[in-house]
Amino acid sequence: MSDYYERAADLVEFAGLLPSFGAIGAGASVEVSFEVPTYVPSGSVSMASPSTDLGNANLTWCARVGSGLAYIRVSNPTAAPITPSNVSWRIFIRIPRESFDLDPPTGDGKRHARPTI
C-alpha cells in the first residue's frame, strides 16, 4: 500500500462553504458552524482556508471540530470593528487513523479505508 493512499484516506474536505460573519467588533471574534458527517470525531485536526482575501490583512482565523460540527472563527485584533468580505471557505479535517476500519486488500492490492460509523 502506498503512503499517499494511506494519507489521502484520512483527509476530508468541505468546499464552497459560505459563512456570513457580519461586523466583528474591536478585539472580538465571531464563530460560525457547519454540519459534518457523524464519523468525524471531536478533536480531529482541522484547518480552514478562505478562497480569497477577507478584505483586511489584520483578520485571523482558525477551525475546530466538535459534536458533528466544524467551526470557523474569525478574530479582529484591532481597535476598530471590521466587516470581512463574503468569500467561500474550505475546511480540511484529518480523521484519526483509529477512526477507520481497513478492508482486506482488493484486486488492486490496496486496502481501502472506510469510516467506522
Per-residue model confidence as pLDDT tens digits over 72-93: 999 999 999 999 999 999 888 8
Q: How far apart are CA 48 and CA 99, in angstroms?
A: 21
Domains, the chain, ranges and CATH?
Answer: 3-111 (2.60.40)
Only one residue has cell 484547518, namely 47
The pTM of this model reads: 0.72
* Nearest CA among 106, 78, 88, 99 for reference residue 50: 88
Q: Give the DSSP H or E segment for 9.
A: helix 3-9
Say if residue 114 is exposed, middle or buried (CB neighbours under 10 Å; 0-12, 13-18, 19+).
exposed
Region 54-74: what's the mean pLDDT? Answer: 90
Average model confidence (pLDDT) for the chain?
A: 78
**What pLDDT sits at residue 116?**
44
